[in-house]
Structure 1
Amino acid sequence: MDTTAAIELRGVTKRFATEGPEPYTALRDLDLEVGPGEFCAVVGPTGCGKSTTLTLVAGLETPSEGTVRVHGKPVSGITPEVGFMFQTDAILPWKTVLDNVSAGPRFRGVGKREAFADARDWIRRVGLSGFEDRYPHQLSGGMRKRVALAQNLINEPRVILMDEPFSALDVQTRSKMSTELLALWDLTRPAVVFVTHDLEEAIALADTVVVLTAGPAATIKARFRIDLPRPRVVQEIRFDPRFVDLYQQIWEALRAEVDLAYSQITATPGQEDA
């Protein structure tokens, strides 16, 4: 059995250049490990570096200090075995559902017939059979998210990074999409890092919830193992007494960071260092 971490960040610090004399430190000395097949949710206040963490794993950014590895290999650029779902749709508006979902395999050299067959299978799995010839503007928000899921999963990534992918959806659609995500994830069990501001969503989905401190120079404050049984129905798991216990524990760790971030945003000039 392979015990190599799917994702490993060690001593990671990330700085960004600013117009002032000093760079902005988004993350400082961050250690994060996600095992193969593990679903990890990352929560924290606005501006704490959640999305930056994803871009480092994806190879879209490089750390200022420390190391980032995916399946034991240092990340030195965009990694083909990593899928990324963004907040906004990354599907191509001029292509049909079938063309969008088959684009990944075709880019990797798979023949058109095989790519279309695989795409139709994944379109069926995400519940969009009959919509193969539709364009994104003809789909609802939830349907576009299903296309994005199929677009990622057809490539059989070993790691999927998700940056608040359902935040634009209404509450009912969001819960339903979360349950569908878990069912699809269970088919191949890639490692997942799921960034969200919604603590209930994090607990309902994840095996592990990681709490980041308020920025700047954010780091990991606490980790919580989510011992709720699987398979889970997101709309129902929230009523489990253990879910309520976990929520209270994690909120205790998160609340102080949210309060600190809010005070930094609302402070008048000169008060920050008072």
Structure 2
Amino acid sequence: MSPPLIELIGATKRFPSGTGSVHTAVSDLTLAVRPGEFVAVVGPTGCGKSTTLSLVSGLQPPSAGQVRVHGRPVESIPDGVGYMFQTDAVMPWRSVLDNVASGPRFRGVPKAEAREQAADWISRVGLAGFEKYYPHQLSGGMRKRVALAQTLVTSPRILLMDEPFSALDVQTRALMQDELLRLWSGTGAAVIFVTHDLEEAVALADRVVVLTASPATVKDVFDVGLPRPRRVEELRLTEEFLAIYREVWESLRTEVEKSRAGGRTDVA
């Protein structure tokens, strides 16, 4: 097996609270993700899922433990990381083409070449013909396609995705899930995908990681032995999918109940 591309080794993150005390968001978190692996992370609301992504991305340093990417400690934003947030990061004053080209341009790619790369990815996400449109002229699903092209145009080796499709309607969400799997397949990129939707986690991932109620640590890891390529809507109707879903939910359910009983929903 190839060595891990992403490693969290006993990682802990503490934040000062508004009362002058210290809040522990994640505690003793250990997780490894290899190249080409799609890992979904689920857990109760407020348990620290987004904090986990912040540690991997270098946006937050760990308070204790280690975070490694490419075998090296994360001390700043690592090279080759693409981050897709719940709220898309498209720039309203730029066209679709210039939004997608902004990543290559930031990395020093000449303007003409950056626009050529952007046009290719705009076509890949199904928006050919919309290059000159502005974000306010697009539907929510189309904006997500722009955000996906923005993320993938730089050929990241690591994809960090924080509930990227949660704001979409059910039909559009399923289409975007299929698009993500199609575009990711064969890239060799490692994916950490945070979601509240357990169906989404099982349908997309190679492994589903269940985090405990806050402070989060890894409770269980489930292998998803469903064949690829996958069609999300068709997959959800199979007995194999339902069996894995039930197994993961049994683990997650007790943590959700603990979280509700504790009333902790203040930390992402």
Q: C-alpha separation between the residues in 2 aligned to 1:149 and 1:187?
A: 16
SS of match in other structure, 2:222: strand
Q: C-alpha separation between the residues in 1 aligned to 2:216 and 2:187?
A: 32
Q: C-alpha separation between the residues in 2 aligned to 1:154 and 1:188?
A: 12
Residue number in structure 2 paired with 1:54: 53
Residue number in structure 1 paired with 2:151: 152
Residue 262 of structure 2 aligns to which amino acid in structure 1?
Q
Residue number in structure 1 paired with 2:128: 129
Q: Which moved more, 1:21-30 or 1:92-101?
A: 21-30
Alignment of 1:63-78 (within 5 A): 63-78=62-77
Q: C-alpha separation between the residues in 1 aligned to 2:49 and 2:22?
A: 18
CA offset digits 1:174-205 (Å, max 9, x no partner): 01100010000014131000000000000000
Residue 250 of structure 1 aligns to which amino acid in structure 2?
V
SS of match in other structure, 2:252: helix
Residue 230 of structure 1 aligns to which amino acid in structure 2?
R
Cα drift, residue 22 of structure 1: 2.5
Q: C-alpha separation between the residues in 2 aligned to 1:156 and 1:258?
A: 36
Q: C-alpha separation between the residues in 1 aligned to 2:82 and 2:34?
A: 16
Cα drift, residue 148 of structure 1: 0.6
SS of match in other structure, 1:224: strand
Residue 141 of structure 1 aligns to which amino acid in structure 2?
G
Residue number in structure 1 paired with 2:248: 250
Cα drift, residue 155 of structure 1: 0.4
Structure 1-normalised TM-score?
Answer: 0.94
- Of 204, 212, 234 in structure 2, the residue corresponding to residue 236 of structure 1 is 234
Residue 121 of structure 2 aligns to which amino acid in structure 1?
W
Residue number in structure 2 paired with 1:259: 257
Cα drift, residue 79 of structure 1: 1.6
SS of match in other structure, 2:193: strand
**Contact in 2 for aligned 1:203/1:209 (Cα 8 Å):** yes
Residue number in structure 1 paired with 2:206: 207
Q: C-alpha separation between the residues in 1 aligned to 2:188 and 2:238?
A: 24
Q: C-alpha separation between the residues in 2 aligned to 1:73 and 1:83?
A: 18
**Contact in 2 for aligned 1:4/1:71 (Cα 8 Å):** no
Residue number in structure 2 paired with 1:83: 82
Q: Which moved more, 1:143-152 or 1:182-191?
A: 182-191
The answer to whether 1:30 aligns with 2:24 is no
**Contact in 2 for aligned 1:13/1:64 (Cα 8 Å):** yes
SS of match in other structure, 1:45: coil
Alignment of 1:166-205 (within 5 A): 166-205=165-204
Root mean square deviation, CA, Å: 1.1
Residue 227 of structure 1 aligns to which amino acid in structure 2?
G
Q: Which moved more, 1:200-209 or 1:183-192?
A: 183-192
Structure 2-normalised TM-score?
Answer: 0.97
SS of match in other structure, 1:114: helix
Residue 208 of structure 1 aligns to which amino acid in structure 2?
R
**Contact in 2 for aligned 1:123/1:129 (Cα 8 Å):** yes
Residue 78 of structure 1 aligns to which amino acid in structure 2?
I
Q: C-alpha separation between the residues in 2 aligned to 1:36 and 1:188?
A: 9
Cα drift, residue 21 of structure 1: 4.2
SS of match in other structure, 1:156: coil
SS of match in other structure, 1:193: strand
SS of match in other structure, 1:5: coil
Dislocated runs of 4+, deviation >6 Å: none
Aligned residue pairs total 264
Q: C-alpha separation between the residues in 2 aligned to 1:76 and 1:252?
A: 37
